[in-house]
Structure 1
Amino acid sequence: TSFLWEEAKHVEVFRRFLDEVAGVQEDLNHYHTESYRQIFYEALPGAMSRLLIEPSPVAQAEASVTYNMIVEGVLAETGYYGFYNTLERNHILPGLLQVTGKLKQDESRHIAYGVYLLSRLVAEHGQPVWLAIESRMNALLEPALGVINEIFAAYPEMPFGLDLDEFLNFALNQFQKRMDRIERAKSQTLQEVETIALEAL
């Protein structure tokens, strides 16, 4: 799918940057903090693997929340927001700035798909799915914000004058916008969800 192709291209662009521009050879696992591991080593593979044996609406919803709403919608978007703004404000690495702009566009499409999928599941299957979404979103918010906090905590002085509160506020705003949008599906029919999605294209 185009979704998978785009994700592969994201990996490629950062791998090439690290290899060909930054010349990074070291193992980067030390950047995987406790909160990062909680999401990427436990919650994400657990939710995705579950689909192989239990592709129920609730399992689909929890997997989509984990990937589309938390990994992409909170962490990736916040990271790209900070990365893009840092490059732009400091007038550095124009090629990477352009690439990051394209990555942001890709993520927006992925997140929009996640909102659509979750809205469909809520409209079609009702309260059990909504409660699963709400529970999963709330459970993963703390470690998602923990990733941001732990990144800042690793630096005695944050480069480029980056501000922790700006990042946390951005992440929380993205989280709440998606929650509000998905919650509206509780009072929508499946047809209404489809119509809204088509109008947004």
Structure 2
Amino acid sequence: MVRWSTLVESASFDQLGTLDASDISDHANLLAERRLRPRDLYRRWEEQQWSADAVRLDRDRDTFQTRLPRTLRRQLEATISTFIVGEYTGLDLLAPVQLGAPDEEDLIFLGTQVADEARHARLMFRVGHEVLGYDPDPTIMLRQAWELAEQEHRDLALLEGEIMRASVANPRDYEKWLRCVTLFHLVTEGVLAVSGQRSIVRALGKTDLLPGIRSAFAAMCRDESRHISFGLHALRTGIREGHAEAIYDVLERAMPLALVLTDRLQPTSAFLAADSHEARAATQTGVDSFLRGMRWIGADPAFTRHVVDRARVVAPERIEGRHVREHTGRVAAPIERNPS
């Protein structure tokens, strides 16, 4: 059996495109379980570089326009459009997280994340123009992609602006920084982004369709694994130091929106009970990512159930209590906490 680190950690960009979707999907979880510190994540960044401009998209363009079934083409366009907006937004909004970094190791790692977000944004602009046929002007392209955004994305964008502005106004406020990290690293990256990336990698599988996009999204998954691990480290520290309420407040407002969005990416599995534990592990739903993240940061299981129950209010037909019970050991049941 090949060690997981040799499958994903040490793979070249071209090799990433040939790996099984399950190996790529498992990577963020396996990295998070190691509970690495920012300095260790920095070292991985040094070893895992790739170029957005070097990704070949000529075959992808021809395939997307002429060979893909209409339904798959529409699904891919909708998902990719969220990344056009999301990766640019991530680059644009990461400055407050850097500004409030509590120590030097955090700041140095966050510098690598800025570089990653710039690379991802550049790649998405290329995919938008060269494959989807969007306008090459990034400003116009962002408007085109935003037109496909769902209401939950718009609600999250408003919350992002609110939380980031508060941190910029008080960069030395540790709790405001933790709120930024909660939204950016646990909600946006740890659930939304990684779920979308996994859905594309799984959809394309090992076929020769869209090889550039598949390899690029696999590489983005690996980058996100480092970002997510940093966020889990920061939030675990924050909870241990007594700042859980600041973290919970953001999760209570943002996570139900994110879970509904990831459910639409994986309509057969996200809130529905799959036939087996193995099936759920293979699909790596947004709910899975959220529940694992909450365990890794040491969150209160009762609060975790409460957040999933709030998502049930938004999508009552899609959330199944048995799915939550297997992660928390108890049946999901509503609890009263700052009801809105």
**Cα 1:163/1:104, change in 2 over 3 Å:** closer
**How many Å separate the matches in 2 of 1:60 and 1:136?**
12
Q: How far is the alpha carbon of 1:146 from its aligned partner?
A: 3.1
**Equivalent position SS for 2:269:** helix
The aligned counterpart of 1:197 is none
How many residue pairs were aligned? 170
The aligned counterpart of 1:171 is 286
Q: How far is the alpha carbon of 1:184 from its aligned partner?
A: 6.5
**Cα 1:105/1:163, change in 2 over 3 Å:** closer
Letter in 2 for 1:112: S
**Cα 1:46/1:143, change in 2 over 3 Å:** same
TM superposition score normalised by structure 2? 0.47
**Cα 1:163/1:5, change in 2 over 3 Å:** closer
Question: Where does 1:96-107 land on structure 2 (aligned, <5 Å)?
Answer: 96-107=213-224
- Given candidates 5, 22, 43, the residue that maps to 2:132 is 22
TM superposition score normalised by structure 1? 0.77
Letter in 1 for 2:298: E
Q: How far is the alpha carbon of 1:47 from its aligned partner?
A: 1.2
Question: Where does 1:1-201 land on structure 2 (aligned, <5 Å)?
Answer: 1-25=111-135, 27-40=144-157, 42-55=158-171, 56-88=173-205, 90-123=207-240, 125-126=241-242, 129-148=243-262, 152=264, 163-168=266-271, 170-183=285-298
**How many Å separate the matches in 2 of 1:168 and 1:86?**
19
Which range moved further: 82-91 or 163-172? 163-172
Letter in 2 for 1:43: L
**Cα 1:21/1:184, change in 2 over 3 Å:** closer
Identity of aligned residues (%): 22
Could you tell me which runs of 5 or more consecutive residues in structure 1 were left unpaired when the two chains were aligned. 153-161, 186-201
**How many Å separate the matches in 2 of 1:51 and 1:135?**
15
Q: How far is the alpha carbon of 1:6 from its aligned partner?
A: 0.4
Deviation per CA, 1:48-107, whole angstroms, max 9, x where unpaired? 111122232221111111100011011001100101111115541112111111000000
Give the conservation status (yes or no) of the 8 Å contact 2:178–2:246.
yes
Give the conservation status (yes or no) of the 8 Å contact 2:199–2:266.
no
Give the conservation status (yes or no) of the 8 Å contact 1:82–1:167.
no
Which range moved further: 46-55 or 162-171? 162-171
**How many Å separate the matches in 2 of 1:8 and 1:132?**
29
**How many Å separate the matches in 2 of 1:19 and 1:5?**
22
**How many Å separate the matches in 2 of 1:176 and 1:142?**
12
**Equivalent position SS for 2:131:** helix
Higher percent of residues as helix: 1
Q: Which has the larger radius of gyration?
A: 2
Give the conservation status (yes or no) of the 8 Å contact 1:87–1:93.
yes
Letter in 1 for 2:288: N
**Equivalent position SS for 2:134:** coil
Greater relative CO, 1 or 2 (CA 8 Å, sep 6+)? 1
